[in-house]
């Protein structure tokens, strides 16, 4: 696909409890209860092929917490656009941000109908801040931006969170194009945070697990190399330690003995100058 082409948006899927889905399998691995038998079966099969997947999912959520604490704390960010929300679990984006700054404004966007239902019920804001939920498809970044502008002031810095979602865009050029469009709409001083699956650590075991996922799960997953993941940050100021396994992005000193083991979720945080 050409560099700046974005695929036509498919209609939002209806809730189908006979097909396993990313958000619900993820919820299962995180220890949540918002999943169906079909999701648990798919999740168990992938976990049997790749036992570290559960550790990986939890490392992803722990990274989300550390990244938002950094952005809200050290960088003073008060606006967050989290695309690919997932089902509500512990330490959701708005909870971490509003614990530091209760006035924080958060917009969540996802295209899974179950995520939207749960988000509306469970993700409630502090009185000082606000939370909005967009039924939005990452393949249509302009609509997400237009809807987000109801709650966020896009003339002010925003932290754009794309965690565990870009690997659901199969075409790499389209994925780069979507990220460029989103970042272009953000004010200077905004941040881009990405976490993306790779097979750099587990190799064939991760690739085999993803092949299985792509037979039973939706939407499909595409693994990328750390170098390809790094290119999402082209033109931005990538913060130390750069693109690394998410378990190694600024781990909290003393929380675990030694250096955390790498997992196949690579991440980075970058500032728009
Ligand atoms: C693996 S979960 C990640 C959840 C959360 N961001 C996290 O890191 O824990 C992926 C989420 O992306 C959503 N998603 C996948 N493709 C999407 C798309 N094209 N547009 C919007 N959301 C999408 C799924 O519904 C799911 O909630």
User: How many angstroms is it from 161 CA to the middle of ligand 1?
Assistant: 11
Q: How confident is the model at residue 70 (pLDDT cuts 50, 70, 90)?
A: very high
Q: How confident is the model at residue 222 (pLDDT cuts 50, 70, 90)?
A: very high
Q: Exposed/middle/buried for 198, CB within 10 Å: 0-12, 13-18, 19+?
A: buried
Selection from 63, 66, 134, 58 nearest residue 97 by Cα = 66
Report the half-sphere exposure of 222 (CA within 13 A, side-chain side): 13
- What does the alpha-carbon distance between residue 69 and residue 61 come to, in Å, rounded to a whole number? 12
| Averaged confidence pLDDT in the chain | 91
Asked if residue 237 has pLDDT above 80, the reply is yes
Residue with CA nearest ligand 1 atom 12: 84
Question: What are the φ and ψ backbone dihedral angles of 133, each rounded to 5 degrees?
Answer: -130, 125
Opening angle at CA 141, ends 140 and 143, nearest 5: 75
Question: What are the φ and ψ backbone dihedral angles of 195, each rounded to 5 degrees?
Answer: -135, 130
Q: Which residues make beta-bridge pairs with 193?
A: 161, 269
Asked if residue 251 has pLDDT above 80, the reply is yes
Q: How confident is the model at residue 120 (pLDDT cuts 50, 70, 90)?
A: confident
pLDDT of residue 31: 87
User: How many angstroms is it from 78 CA to the middle of ligand 1?
Assistant: 22
Q: Exposed/middle/buried for 72, CB within 10 Å: 0-12, 13-18, 19+?
A: buried
- Return the top range by mean pLDDT from 9-18, 76-85, 89-98: 76-85
% of the chain beyond a pLDDT of 70: 94
Nearest atom in ligand 1 to the alpha carbon of residue 60 is: 8
* CB-based contact 128:103 (threshold 8 Å): yes
- What does the alpha-carbon distance between residue 51 and residue 43 come to, in Å, rounded to a whole number? 10
> In a mutational test of the pocket of ligand 1, which residue from 27, 113, 165, 167 has the highest number of ligand atoms less than 8 Å from its CB?
165
Q: How confident is the model at residue 117 (pLDDT cuts 50, 70, 90)?
A: confident
Residue with CA nearest ligand 1 atom 27: 86
Asked if residue 10 has pLDDT above 70, the reply is no
Q: What is the mean pLDDT of residues 113-117?
A: 87
DSSP letters, 1-54, are: --TT--PPPPPPPPP-TTSEEHHHHHHHHTT-S---HHHHHHHHHHHHH-THHH
Neighbours of 97 (CB within 10 A): 28
Q: What is the mean pLDDT of residues 137-156?
A: 98
pLDDT of residue 2: 42
pLDDT of residue 14: 66
CA torsion angle 166 77 141 149 (round to 10): 160
pLDDT of residue 13: 55
Question: Sign (positive/negative) of CA torsion 86, 91, 94, 97?
Answer: negative
Using CB distances shorter than 6 Å, the residues near ligand 1 are 22-23, 26, 60-61, 64, 84-86, 110-112, 115, 137-139, 163-165, 168, 219
- What does the alpha-carbon distance between residue 193 and residue 95 come to, in Å, rounded to a whole number? 17
pLDDT in tens, 148-205: 999 999 999 999 999 999 999 999 999 999 999 999 999 999 999 999 999 999 999 9
- What does the alpha-carbon distance between residue 215 and residue 213 come to, in Å, rounded to a whole number? 5
User: How many angstroms is it from 84 CA to the middle of ligand 1?
Assistant: 3
Q: How confident is the model at residue 9 (pLDDT cuts 50, 70, 90)?
A: very low
% of the chain beyond a pLDDT of 90: 71
């Amino acid at each position: 696909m050409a560099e700046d082409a974005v695929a036509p948006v498919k209609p939002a899927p209806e809730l189908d409890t006979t097909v396993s889905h990313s958000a619900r399998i993820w919820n299962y691995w995180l220890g949540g209860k918002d999943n169906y038998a079909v999701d648990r079966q798919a999740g168990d099969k992938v976990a049997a092929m790749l036992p570290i997947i559960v550790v990986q999912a939890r490392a992803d959520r722990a990274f989300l917490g550390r990244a938002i604490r950094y952005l809200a704390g050290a960088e003073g960010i008060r606006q967050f656009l989290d695309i690919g929300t997932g089902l509500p679990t512990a330490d959701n984006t708005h909870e971490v941000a509003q614990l530091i700054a209760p006035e924080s404004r958060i917009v969540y966007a996802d295209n899974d109908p179950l995520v939207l239902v749960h988000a509306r019920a469970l993700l409630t804001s502090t009185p000082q801040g606000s939370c909005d939920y967009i039924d939005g498809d990452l393949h249509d970044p302009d609509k997400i931006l237009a809807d987000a502008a109801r709650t966020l002031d896009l003339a002010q810095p925003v932290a754009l969170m794309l965690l565990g979602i870009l690997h659901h865009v199969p075409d790499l050029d389209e994925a780069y194009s979507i990220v460029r469009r989103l970042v272009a709409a953000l004010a200077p001083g905004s941040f881009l945070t990405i976490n993306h699956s790779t097979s750099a650590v587990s190799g064939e075991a991760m690739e085999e697990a993803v092949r299985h996922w792509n037979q039973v799960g939706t939407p499909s997953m595409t693994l990328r190399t750390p170098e390809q993941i790094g290119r999402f940050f082209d033109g931005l100021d990538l913060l130390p330690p750069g693109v690394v396994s998410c378990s190694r992005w600024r781990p909290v000193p003393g929380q675990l003995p030694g250096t955390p083991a790498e997992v196949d979720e690579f991440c980075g945080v970058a500032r728009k100058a």
